């Protein structure tokens, strides 16, 4: 595996500019030597103490980072920054390999699954992949057993083993959540703080708040994009915005009107948000058309005396006449809620107001205005049709369903064996059918006779004699008490019971192993490459070994159960025989066809 | 589960659909004459009706070429078991009619080989499930349904797909299928049916005591089954029939797309049309290990 | 649950309490056998069925083996019921091993049933004699009318316009246990009375029947005969006419009373008179098993605690008043609300939260019956919370001990009380402790010994 030496910066936190130095890694440990010999940031860490590693997605000018975490629960670890992604990936792959090996190593008995990432493997495994595999192995002891037997026994390659289990891996992968933090549900209020002495009002805006303002007020966002580099600076823009906010808050309509007249940029903030208005109009079109919104408008109590919402100590009133229509608290609440629900568009970083505004503008492309009038009305009609539920036409309410499932494969094994055993001692229960072949007419005639005899003697009073009833009852009771005595959950075991437990387990193990091998065997046909050829050879060898083991079990069995065991083993050997004969056939064929057959 | 079953009666109220094998070839050679068998059946139906006034029993006959309802207790007057006698006269008449009709159908069919034809189990099961679905969808409360198959004739491998489909839909709607074998051979279909749906499979030793088996084992309602130990099958025959020749096979080929089973290597899946030959020139799909 | 609720099943206990000879006499009738069998728990039915053709005794152990170990209690209940009702008879052999045998009369009747599928107790009069009979809807309306009228009279004799013809002494018998009257005051409903009103119709019916039968002896009538007649009645065909002439004298008197309750409708023809069983009668034996009849409900309860009851019945209004505030009443609709006060009022009367909830569930309007849950969860939770509110403080009579001369002595006393599980509270700083009242004599003795 060797070692790796690379230049990197060691960072204690994400924000830390980092200490430049040299990172050296080998199979057991990694060391970091800072370029500045006075620095105390020297590291010498054994890989044994590293539990996992993480790396970031690199795009643009962001640094390539690698984080080696000590304990996934506690989150302590070592963070390195690299000059470029290539270096980082080199390092990452190295770490992945070393970690994979370490976690597979037995020195720590707390890690049961043994996994080795093939050093010669062509595939480069991401750490996440390795982790997923380790987890699967840890959870499924049977899988682990197979893995141990074949991969560590060098019969199958790691990749071959997992290739047939892609769905398992995918399942795990899909379950990982990709949730991102969204907006805060609390409304962040841009609140002025006034110090008592001067007549100055201070607003405090954080990047987060700016992000939210942009999201909630598209007009402000648009204004920002229009004005900022050309007409005014960032700071100026926000000053104007805050001034407008202040005017709105103090409800100084007159002053607001006056100022708006003077300053057209300021007026933008005071006016109603036209983008929102447009959006609202579109939304209203999408509302359930059976809902009569105009009827509800009369229910508005806000304008009545003694009604309304208290905000900042005073009642909110709606002044419809003013040009600068006031946004009411409920409107703001609604808008905020909508934005929170929409969530943060991906790839938006809270770094700089400009990029935030651009990203938001991109994600909020104006809805296509191509929708012609007749188109919308048609859509509306469709919607009406969809919303009006006609009871008779609804699908029947769903009935209770049990999900279909495949039962434990082990049960199938047991029961198949039990079946084989039973057919051995196939009891001839005195019911012999008179083996006469009748023509169709004769048969039906006989049945019709029987039915007419039913009609004639309807009053055959007792269908069953007492002694027969007792006999049947005893027979059933016996069966029940037998199963009770054995206290078996699984009736099959009653038949398998005579076979010693360890033999049974051994056979079961062989059975699962054979199935795995056969799957690989058959799936490598037709043999088109040397890799497949080699694989088939390896698999065949393993099968031969198992075959011999099965024979040995059969021969070493106690005489009283030998026959039973041979019955148990039979389907396995049959399946193996089929594979061997197929192999032979193929060999003969290719020998006949000469070298050109499969191209190798 | 409990919420979904709010429409079920809480107690032991049952709907039992009995599928009766009326295969003339079987009954002609059976140790138990059909007349005696029918008397047993009548007693059993009456005892089910006796147990609870809300119990319902439906009898379906499965013949060689057709199947049909021959008795429905809800046709009898609603109050108690009154009028059952008359109904059973009617039922026996219906059986007679059914058999005559089945004979005509069989004679016209031509494909039935004398002496060795299976009964239409798949059709009867489908009828039973349809009836149960109708009960599920009607009214506010319904009894707990189960199906009992009284089979004598051997399985018809050609019905494999249809029977398995019925079994799975029974499993899905949580209807157990009980099986009582009155013939000589075990039925792989019914073994699987009872195993998959959680019913009881039983092959009585003493056919003369048939009623006692029915009364002790198969009259037990689903409510009581939760706390009873009932006879269990030892070993279920899980073998499948191939889709091409309807033969029961130990080992075969499975379509990797739709899981159809074939006894011989095929160029193309006859069920879903997937072509195997293109992908792999020779012996392509993996053999199933006959689970 | 208070005893009244299980009254329907208790009826069979009453049958079981009859002396063995009378019980055996009852089993002469196939109908009684059938009714008894149907009233049994499912497991007992299974046992009975499997013994139907078995004459020899069957070992108890063999039966028990069928039952899974964790459900052994079910087996015991089933066997107890079978023995009480003398369907099974216990037999002990020489080795003292218990086995059961089926009652022969019972067995014979049931075997007969299996052959012919049951028959009618008596032949109905042909339509040619009776002419047109009431339609089933009319009959049902009549039955419910009669029954409600009776119930109203039972709880509030003054409110009824047309009283039933029950003698006041009979009425008194029925009211026994349901109403309590102090001298000079109007009779008031007791706890049992309130619970009675919330019960299902069939359960109410059985309660009244039980009272009726148990008071029979005072009237010089054999209760066995009445029981047999009642059970037989339930096997008559609904809506068919049966001649009164086929009845015995006792039965003829009884049938007039039953007509008052709405179990049967009496009609007078030109020369013959007959009775027509209603739903109430035919459901009698059916309701003995757990599966209750499916009657259409009328109450819609909303999550805002408002209640709409589509009913014209005065009785329903009275019942709803027990636990809700009725706000207004339209000809076919009662509108009310569940309030804390109304529920507290119900609790005062001894009605439990569970009873109210189960009443609301049982009587839910068909429109809401399909919903899950039928009664909004917030309402049921709130009703339960209100009930537990009342039980916040538990009263325990107890004694306080203080002024101990030494710490040591105090500790000893504490330990002594704690060891016996009677210590409620201790304050070691000020050396005081509280001990349950019933432990006081023991405590005093202990203190004396210490001295």
- Give contacts of B173 with chain A, Cβ < 8 Å: 399-402
Residues C77 and C153 in one domain: no
Lowest-pLDDT choice from A120-134, A235-249, B12-26 = A120-134
- In a domain? residue B7: no
Of residues C146, C137, C131, the one with CA closest to residue C264: C146
**Whether C104 contacts chain A with CB within 8 A:** no
In this complex, how many residue pairs, one in chain B and one in chain C, have their CB atoms less than 8 Å apart?
115
**Whether C58 contacts chain A with CB within 8 A:** yes
Determine the Cα–Cα distance for residues A343 and A363; give it in Å rounded to an integer. 12
- Give contacts of A400 with chain B, Cβ < 8 Å: 1, 4-5, 173-174
| A396 vs C82, residue with greater confidence | C82
Predicted confidence band of residue B19 (pLDDT cuts 50, 70, 90): very high
Q: What is the pLDDT of residue B179?
A: 93
Domain span at B281: 239-291
Q: Do B227 and C118 touch (CB under 8 A)?
A: no
Residues C255 and C328 in one domain: no
Determine the Cα–Cα distance for residues A484 and C64; give it in Å rounded to an integer. 11
- Give contacts of A462 with chain C, Cβ < 8 Å: 53, 111
Among candidates B173, B208, B289 on the partner chain, residue whose Cβ is nearest the Cβ of A515: B289
Residues B256 and B112 in one domain: no
Among candidates B31, B103, B217 on the partner chain, residue whose Cβ is nearest the Cβ of A444: B103
Residues C147 and C249 in one domain: yes
User: Between the CA of residue B165 and those of B61, B121, B125, what are the distances in Å?
Assistant: 20, 12, 10
Q: Is residue B94 within 8 Å of residue B38, measured between CB atoms?
A: no
pLDDT in tens, B29-76: 888 888 888 888 888 988 888 888 788 899 999 988 889 998 888 776
Residues C219 and C336 in one domain: no
Residues B177 and B248 in one domain: no
Q: H-helix or E-strand containing A64? A: strand A64-69
Q: What is the pLDDT of residue B279?
A: 43
Residues B211 and B117 in one domain: yes
The CA distance from C279 to the nearest CA of chain B, in Å, is 10
SS3 (DSSP) at C340: helix
Q: Do A455 and B92 touch (CB under 8 A)?
A: yes
- Give contacts of A483 with chain C, Cβ < 8 Å: none
Q: What is the pLDDT of residue B125?
A: 94
Predicted confidence band of residue A281 (pLDDT cuts 50, 70, 90): confident
Residues C101 and C135 in one domain: no
Instruction: Enumerate the β-bridge partners of residue B146.
Output: B16
From B202, B225, B248, give the residue that closes a domain: B225
Predicted confidence band of residue A466 (pLDDT cuts 50, 70, 90): confident
pLDDT in tens, A515-554: 888 888 888 777 778 888 888 888 888 888 888 888 888 8
Residue of A167, A404, A421, A450 to mutate, interface with B, max B Cβ within 10 Å: A450
Please compute, for residue A271, the number of CA atoms within 13 A of its CA located in the half-sphere on the CB side. 17
Determine the Cα–Cα distance for residues A465 and A468; give it in Å rounded to an integer. 5
On the question of pLDDT at A265 being above 80, the answer is no
Compute the mean pLDDT over every residue in chain A, rounded to the nearest whole number. Answer: 70
Instruction: Enumerate the β-bridge partners of residue B15.
Output: B56, B145
Q: Is residue A510 within 8 Å of residue A549, measured between CB atoms?
A: yes
User: Encoding tokens for residue A79?
Assistant: 């963070």
Q: Do B46 and C117 touch (CB under 8 A)?
A: yes
Chains in contact with chain B (at least 3 beta-carbon pairs closer than 8 A): A, C
In chain B, residues 225-244 whose CB comes closer than 8 Å to chain C? 227-230
**Domain-by-domain residue ranges, chain A?**
4-106+122-175, 193-363, 465-494, 498-593
**Whether B51 contacts chain C with CB within 8 A:** yes
Residues B128 and B256 in one domain: no
Q: How many domains is chain C partitioned into structurally?
A: 4
From C339, C358, C390, give the residue that closes a domain: C390
**Whether C115 contacts chain A with CB within 8 A:** yes
**Whether C68 contacts chain A with CB within 8 A:** no
* Mean pLDDT score, A331-354: 71
Residues B98 and B185 in one domain: yes
Rounded to a whole number, what is the largest CA-CA distance in chain C?
100
Q: Which residue of C has its CA nearest to B139?
A: C294
CATH code, domain carrying B140: 3.40.50.410
- Give contacts of C45 with chain B, Cβ < 8 Å: 12, 51-52
Q: Is residue B80 within 8 Å of residue C235, measured between CB atoms?
A: yes
On the question of pLDDT at B282 being above 60, the answer is no
- In a domain? residue C308: yes
Of residues B84, A71, A478, the one with CA closest to residue C66: A478
Among candidates A399, A571, A582 on the partner chain, residue whose Cβ is nearest the Cβ of B173: A399
Determine the Cα–Cα distance for residues B184 and B152; give it in Å rounded to an integer. 7
The CA distance from A399 to the nearest CA of chain C, in Å, is 12
- In a domain? residue C292: no
On the question of pLDDT at B288 being above 90, the answer is no
Residues B219 and B266 in one domain: no
- Give contacts of B92 with chain A, Cβ < 8 Å: 451, 454-455
Q: What is the pLDDT of residue A118?
A: 41
In this complex, how many residue pairs, one in chain A and one in chain B, have their CB atoms less than 8 Å apart?
199
Q: Is residue C226 within 8 Å of residue C217, measured between CB atoms?
A: no
**Whether C269 contacts chain B with CB within 8 A:** no
- In a domain? residue C443: yes
Residues C31 and C173 in one domain: no
Rounded to a whole number, what is the largest CA-CA distance in chain B?
70
The CA distance from C278 to the nearest CA of chain A, in Å, is 34
Q: What are phi and psi of B72, to 5 degrees?
A: -140, 115
- In a domain? residue C101: yes
On the question of pLDDT at B128 being above 90, the answer is yes
Residue numbers of chain C with a pLDDT score lower than 50? 1-8, 290-293
CATH code, domain carrying C438: 3.30.70.2610
Determine the Cα–Cα distance for residues B78 and C136; give it in Å rounded to an integer. 13
Q: How many domains is chain B partitioned into structurally?
A: 2
Q: What is the pLDDT of residue B148?
A: 95
- In a domain? residue B68: yes
- Give contacts of C56 with chain A, Cβ < 8 Å: 466, 470
Q: Do C62 and A477 touch (CB under 8 A)?
A: yes
**Whether C366 contacts chain B with CB within 8 A:** yes
Residues B128 and B215 in one domain: yes
Among candidates C45, C67, C114 on the partner chain, residue whose Cβ is nearest the Cβ of B227: C67
Q: Do B24 and A446 touch (CB under 8 A)?
A: yes
Residues B46 and B155 in one domain: yes
Q: How far from each other are the two terminal CA atoms of chain A, in whole angstroms? A: 32
Name, in order, each residue with C-beta under 8 angstroms of A511's C-beta and a sequence gap of 6 or more: A413, A572
Residues C242 and C379 in one domain: no
Residues C274 and C140 in one domain: yes
User: How buried is residue A424: exposed, middle or buried, by Cβ count under 10 Å (0-12/13-18/19+)?
Assistant: exposed
Tell me whether strands C299-301 and C306-309 are parallel, antiparallel or unpaired.
antiparallel
The CA distance from B59 to the nearest CA of chain A, in Å, is 16
Q: What is the pLDDT of residue A119?
A: 40
CATH of A4-106+122-175, one of 2.30.29.30, 3.30.565.10, 3.40.640.10, 3.40.630.10: 2.30.29.30
Of residues B217, B214, B222, the one with CA closest to residue B44: B214
The reply to whether omega before C373 is within 30° of 0 (cis) is: yes
- In a domain? residue B233: no
Residues C384 and C402 in one domain: no
Residues B195 and B286 in one domain: no
Q: H-helix or E-strand containing B70? A: strand B67-72
Among candidates A402, A444, A491 on the partner chain, residue whose Cβ is nearest the Cβ of B172: A402
User: Encoding tokens for residue C146?
Assistant: 């009669």
- In a domain? residue C227: yes
Q: What is the DSSP letter of C69?
A: G
The CA distance from B264 to the nearest CA of chain C, in Å, is 47
Residues C277 and C182 in one domain: yes
The reply to whether omega before A526 is within 30° of 0 (cis) is: yes
Chains in contact with chain C (at least 3 beta-carbon pairs closer than 8 A): A, B
| A160 vs B19, residue with greater confidence | B19
Q: Which residue of A has its CA nearest to B291?
A: A412
Domain span at C417: 398-450
pLDDT in tens, B132-150: 998 887 766 678 899 999 9
- In a domain? residue C293: no
Residues B71 and B133 in one domain: yes
User: Helix C201-214 vs helix C168-175: angle between axes, to the nearest 10 degrees?
Assistant: 120
Chains in contact with chain A (at least 3 beta-carbon pairs closer than 8 A): B, C
| C312 vs A3, residue with greater confidence | C312
Q: What is the pLDDT of residue C307?
A: 93
Among candidates A397, A461, A470 on the partner chain, residue whose Cβ is nearest the Cβ of C56: A470
Residues B93 and B24 in one domain: yes
Please compute, for residue B3, the number of CA atoms within 13 A of its CA located in the half-sphere on the CB side. 5
User: Encoding tokens for residue C210?
Assistant: 């039980």
Among candidates A464, A469, A477 on the partner chain, residue whose Cβ is nearest the Cβ of C65: A477
């Amino acid at each position: 595996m060797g070692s790796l030496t690379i230049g990197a910066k060691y960072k204690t936190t994400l924000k830390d500019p980092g200490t430049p130095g040299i990172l050296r890694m080998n199979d057991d440990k990694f060391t970091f030597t800072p370029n500045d010999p006075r620095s105390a940031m020297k590291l010498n860490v054994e890989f044994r103490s590293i539990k996992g590693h993480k790396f970031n997605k690199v795009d643009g000018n962001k640094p390539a980072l690698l984080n080696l975490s000590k304990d996934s629960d506690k989150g302590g670890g070592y963070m390195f920054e690299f000059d470029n992604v290539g270096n980082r990936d080199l390092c990452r792959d190295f770490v992945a390999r070393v970690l994979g090996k370490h976690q597979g190593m037995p020195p720590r008995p707390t890690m049961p699954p043994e996994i080795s990432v093939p050093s010669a493997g062509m595939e480069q495994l991401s750490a996440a992949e390795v982790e997923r595999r380790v987890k699967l192995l840890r959870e499924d002891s049977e899988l682990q057993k197979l893995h141990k037997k074949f991969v560590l026994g060098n019969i199958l390659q790691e990749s071959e083993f997992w290739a047939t289990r892609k769905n398992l891996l995918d399942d795990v992968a899909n379950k990982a959540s990709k949730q991102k933090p969204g907006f805060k549900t609390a409304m962040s209020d841009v609140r002025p703080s006034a110090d008592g002495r001067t007549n100055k009002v201070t607003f405090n805006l954080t990047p987060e708040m700016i992000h939210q303002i942009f999201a909630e007020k598209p007009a402000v966002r648009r204004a920002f994009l229009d004005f900022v580099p050309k007409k005014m600076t960032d700071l100026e823009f926000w000053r104007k915005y805050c001034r407008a906010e202040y005017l709105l808050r103090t409800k100084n309509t007159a002053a607001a009107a006056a100022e708006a007249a003077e300053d057209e940029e300021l007026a933008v903030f005071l006016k109603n948000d036209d983008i929102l208005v447009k959006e609202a109009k579109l939304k209203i079109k999408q509302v359930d058309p059976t809902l009569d919104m105009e009827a509800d408008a009369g229910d508005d109590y806000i304008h009545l005396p003694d009604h309304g919402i208290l905000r900042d100590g005073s009642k909110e009133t709606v002044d419809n006449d003013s040009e600068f229509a006031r946004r009411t608290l409920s409107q703001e609440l609604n808008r905020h809620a909508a934005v929170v629900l929409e969530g943060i568009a991906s790839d938006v970083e809270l770094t700089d107001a400009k990029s935030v505004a651009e990203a938001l503008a991109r994600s909020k492309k104006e809805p296509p205005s191509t929708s012609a009038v007749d188109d919308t009305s048609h859509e509306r009609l469709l919607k009406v049709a969809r919303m009006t539920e006609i009871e008779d036409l609804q699908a029947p309410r769903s009935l209770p369903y049990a999900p279909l499932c495949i039962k434990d494969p082990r049960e199938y094994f047991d029961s198949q064996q039990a079946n084989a055993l039973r057919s051995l001692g196939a009891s001839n229960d005195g019911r012999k059918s008179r083996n006469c072949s009748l023509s169709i007419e004769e048969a039906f005639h006989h049945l019709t006779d029987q039915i007419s005899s039913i009609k004639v003697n309807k009053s055959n009073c007792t269908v069953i004699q007492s002694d027969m009833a007792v006999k049947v009852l005893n027979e059933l009771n016996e069966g029940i008490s037998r199963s009770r005595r054995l206290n078996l959950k699984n009736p099959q075991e009653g038949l398998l019971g005579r076979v010693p437990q360890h033999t049974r387990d051994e056979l079961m193990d062989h059975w699962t192993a054979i199935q795995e091998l056969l799957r690989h065997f058959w799936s490598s046909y037709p043999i088109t490459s040397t890799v497949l050829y080699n694989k088939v050879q390896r698999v065949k060898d393993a099968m031969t070994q198992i075959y011999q083991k099965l024979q040995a079990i059969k021969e070493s069995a106690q005489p009283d159960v030998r026959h039973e065991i041979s019955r148990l083993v039979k389907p396995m050997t049959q399946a193996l025989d089929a594979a061997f004969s197929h192999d032979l056939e193929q060999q003969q064929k290719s020998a006949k066809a000469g070298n050109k057959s499969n191209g190798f | 589960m409990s919420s979904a079953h709010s429409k079920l009666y809480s107690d032991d109220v049952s709907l039992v659909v009995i599928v009766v094998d009326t295969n003339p070839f079987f009954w002609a050679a059976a140790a138990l004459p059909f007349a005696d068998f029918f008397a047993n059946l009548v007693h059993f139906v009456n005892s089910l009706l006796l147990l609870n006034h809300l119990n319902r029993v439906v009898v379906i006959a499965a013949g060689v070429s057709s199947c049909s309802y021959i008795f429905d207790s809800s046709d009898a007057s609603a109050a108690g078991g009154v009028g059952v006698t008359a109904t059973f006269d009617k039922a026996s008449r219906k059986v007679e009619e059914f058999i005559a009709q089945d004979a005509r159908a069989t004679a016209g069919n031509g494909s039935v080989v004398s002496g060795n034809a299976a009964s239409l189990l798949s059709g009867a099961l489908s009828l039973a499930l349809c009836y149960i679905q109708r009960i599920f969808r009607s009214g506010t409360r319904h009894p707990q349904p189960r199906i009992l198959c009284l089979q004598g004739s051997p399985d018809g491998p050609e019905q494999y797909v249809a029977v398995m489909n019925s079994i799975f839909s029974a499993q899905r709607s949580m209807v157990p299928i009980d099986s009582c074998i009155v013939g000589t051979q075990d039925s792989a279909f019914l073994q699987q049916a009872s195993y998959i749906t959680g019913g009881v499979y039983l092959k009585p030793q003493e056919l003369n005591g048939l009623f006692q088996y029915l009364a002790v084992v198969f009259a037990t309602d689903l409510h009581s089954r939760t706390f009873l130990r009932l006879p269990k099958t030892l070993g279920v025959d899980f073998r499948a029939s191939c889709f091409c020749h309807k033969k029961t096979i130990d080992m075969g080929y499975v379509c990797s797309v739709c899981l159809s089973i074939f006894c011989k290597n095929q160029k193309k899946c006859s069920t879903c049309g997937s072509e195997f030959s293109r992908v792999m020139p020779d012996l392509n799909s993996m053999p199933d290990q006959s689970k | 649950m208070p005893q009244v609720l299980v009254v329907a099943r208790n009826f069979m206990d009453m049958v079981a309490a009859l002396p063995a000879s009378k019980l055996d006499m009852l089993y002469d009738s196939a109908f009684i056998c059938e009714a008894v069998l149907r009233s049994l728990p499912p497991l007992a039915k299974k046992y009975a069925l499997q013994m139907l053709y078995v004459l020899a005794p069957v070992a108890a152990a063999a039966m028990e083996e069928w039952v899974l170990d964790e459900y052994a209690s079910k087996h015991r209940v089933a066997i107890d019921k079978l023995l009480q009702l003398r369907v099974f008879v216990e037999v002990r052999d020489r080795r003292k091993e218990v086995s059961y045998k089926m009652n022969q009369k019972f067995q014979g009747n049931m075997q007969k049933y299996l052959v012919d599928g049951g028959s009618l107790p008596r032949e109905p009069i042909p339509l040619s004699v009776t002419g047109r009979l009431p339609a089933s809807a009319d009959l049902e309306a009549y039955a419910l009318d009669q029954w409600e009228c009776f119930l109203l009279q039972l709880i509030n004799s003054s409110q009824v316009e047309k009283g039933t013809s029950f003698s006041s002494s009979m009425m008194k018998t029925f009211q026994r246990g349901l109403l309590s009257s102090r001298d000079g005051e109007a009779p008031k409903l007791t706890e049992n009375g309130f619970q009675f009103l919330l019960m299902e119709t069939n359960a109410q019916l059985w309660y009244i029947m039980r009272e009726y039968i148990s008071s029979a002896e005072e009237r010089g009538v054999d209760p066995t005969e009445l029981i047999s007649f009642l059970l037989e009645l339930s096997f008559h065909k609904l809506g068919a006419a049966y001649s009164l002439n086929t009845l015995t004298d006792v039965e003829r008197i009884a049938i007039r009373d039953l007509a008052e309750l709405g179990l049967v409708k009496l009609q007078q023809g030109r020369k013959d008179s007959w009775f027509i069983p209603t739903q109430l009668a035919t459901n009698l034996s059916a309701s003995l098993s757990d599966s209750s009849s499916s009657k259409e409900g009328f109450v819609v309860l909303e999550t805002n605690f408002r209640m709409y009851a589509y009913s014209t019945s005065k009785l329903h209004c009275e019942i709803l008043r027990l636990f809700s505030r009725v706000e207004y009443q339209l000809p076919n609709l009662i509108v009310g609300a569940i309030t804390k006060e109304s529920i507290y009022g119900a609790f005062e009367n001894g009605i439990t939260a569970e009873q109210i909830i189960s009443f609301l569930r049982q009587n839910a309007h068909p429109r809401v019956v399909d919903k899950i849950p039928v009664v909004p969860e917030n309402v049921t939770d709130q009703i339960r919370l209100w009930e537990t509110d009342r039980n916040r403080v538990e009263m325990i009579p107890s004694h306080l001990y203080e002024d101990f001369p030494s710490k040591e002595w105090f500790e000893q006393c504490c330990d002594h009380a704690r060891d016996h599980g009677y210590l409620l509270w201790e304050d070691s700083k000020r050396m005081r402790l509280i001990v349950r009242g019933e432990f006081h004599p023991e405590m005093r003795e202990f203190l004396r010994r210490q001295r």
